[in-house]
């Protein structure tokens, strides 16, 4: 397994920094050819593992669109994205003009490139939508936004299937986690990184999960993990370490992460959080 695959997107809750703990739990070897990532986000786990087959899925169609364009066009798409990273485009007027274009255009390639632009020019690299599904993150006021060329090139190298080579096969799919998990078969390795459960009972589950991920979805995920285990797959779930998660993952092998670190899923709600990894294995 390699472990230097830095994601090119900033992503709330990204797991790049706890890859060693995750890699220690993921099975490898002959019987485990395929990785399934139902909550891909920045795809940190896919980028830092070396499975022969990979399903990288997320409910966010804009996010998956970026990956699909990189896979089909490679360097040409990187060059198109670079075009937006200029000093003239790093001002609120241009940002908000691009934002309204993004919310109205039907040009998938333009949308994908603007998504990369927003990721580095928007507030905290957040990805948020209003009730009508419009992208609504404000301008981020960064002095010199970084264009992640090196990281995008590494991504392209990993996802481009070269003829007659041993390079990994990867498909990017827009799917809800339920549909993705139902694809799991014997030997598959499923890594699940759902939106976090709230840290305290007083935190409002519904407000926190404005993306529609509440206690019912968390419980459904735990049930599907058990189903996949019965199918002969291995499932690893990461989440906050709370009485709720300890309860819903009770039948799994739970590892509490010793490393306490800042969370950034919500810019206004930074704090130190204890996390866990729940392993559902045969």
Residues interacting with ligand SAM, by CB under 6 A? Answer: 11, 13-15, 38-39, 41-42, 44, 58-60, 176-177, 193, 195, 211, 213
Question: Which residue lies nearer to ligand SAM by CB, 86 or 176?
Answer: 176
Which DSSP state fits 194?
P
SS3 content of the chain, % helix, strand, coil (to 5): 40, 15, 45
Distance, in Å, from the CA atom of 33 to the CA atom of 87, rounded to the nearest integer, reads: 45
Closest approach, Cβ 16 to ligand SAM, in A, equals 6
Q: Are 119 and 84 in contact (CB under 8 A)?
A: no
Which of 58, 188 has the CB closer to ligand SAM? 58
| Secondary structure of residue 190 in the 3-state scheme | strand
The CA distances from residue 259 to 22, 41, 47, 252, 255, in Å, are 13, 22, 22, 21, 12
Output 56 or 90, the one with its CB closest to ligand SAM: 56
Task: Find the shortest distance in angstroms from Cβ 162 to ligand SAM.
Answer: 26
| Rounded Cα gap, residues 252 and 199, in angstroms | 20
Minimum separation from the CB atom of position 221 to ligand SAM (A): 9
Is 90 or 276 the residue whose CB approaches ligand SAM more closely? 276
Q: Which is nearer to ligand SAM, 5 or 140 (CB)?
A: 5
Tokens of residue 135, six digits: 């992208």
Distance separating alpha carbons of residues 124 and 118, to the nearest angstrom: 10
Give me the least distance between CB of 14 and ligand SAM, in Å please: 3
CB of 9 to ligand SAM, least distance (A): 8
- Nearest-approach distance from CB 12 to ligand SAM, in angstroms: 6
Cβ neighbours for 251, distance < 8 A, ≥ 6 positions apart: 226, 280
For every residue of 43-81, DSSP letters joined together read -HHHHT---SEEEEEES-HHHHHHHHHHHHHTHHHHHHH
Backbone angles phi, psi at 6, to 5 degrees: -75, 125
Q: How far is the CB of 91 from ligand SAM (least distance, A)?
A: 28
Judge whether 39 and 127 are in contact, CB under 8 Å. Answer: no
Q: Are 13 and 43 in contact (CB under 8 A)?
A: no
Q: Whole-number minimum distance, CB 153 to ligand SAM, in Å?
A: 19
Looking up tokens 């900033």 gives: 10
Nearer to ligand SAM, 33 or 128 (CB): 128
Residue 44 or 233 with smaller CB distance to ligand SAM: 44
CA 100 to chain centre: 25
């Amino acid at each position: 397994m390699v472990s230097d695959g830095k994601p090119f997107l900033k992503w709330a809750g990204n797991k790049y920094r706890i890859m060693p703990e995750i890699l220690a739990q993921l099975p490898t070897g002959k019987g485990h050819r395929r990785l399934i990532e139902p909550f891909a986000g920045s795809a940190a786990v896919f980028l830092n593992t070396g499975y022969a087959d990979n399903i990288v899925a997320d409910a966010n169609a804009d996010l998956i669109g970026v990956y699909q364009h990189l896979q089909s066009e490679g360097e040409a798409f990187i060059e198109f994205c670079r075009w937006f990273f200029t000093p003239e485009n790093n001002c609120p007027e241009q940002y908000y003009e691009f934002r309204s274009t993004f919310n109205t255009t039907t040009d998938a390639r333009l949308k994908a490139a603007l998504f990369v632009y927003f990721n580095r020019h928007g507030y905290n690299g957040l990805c948020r939508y209003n009730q009508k599904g419009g992208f609504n993150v404000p301008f981020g006021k960064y002095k010199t936004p970084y264009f992640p060329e090196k990281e995008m090139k590494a991504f392209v190298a990993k996802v481009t299937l070269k003829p007659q080579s041993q390079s990994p096969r990867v498909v990017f799919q827009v799917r809800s986690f339920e549909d993705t998990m139902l694809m799991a078969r014997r030997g598959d390795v499923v890594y699940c990184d759902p939106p976090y459960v709230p840290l305290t009972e007083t935190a409002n589950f519904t407000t926190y999960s404005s993306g529609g991920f509440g206690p019912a979805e968390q419980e459904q995920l735990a049930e599907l993990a058990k189903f996949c285990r019965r199918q002969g797959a291995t499932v690893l779930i990461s989440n906050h370490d709370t009485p709720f998660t300890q309860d819903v993952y009770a039948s799994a092998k739970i590892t509490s992460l010793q490393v306490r670190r800042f969370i950034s899923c919500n810019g206004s709600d930074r704090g130190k959080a204890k996390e866990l990894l729940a392993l559902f294995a045969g």
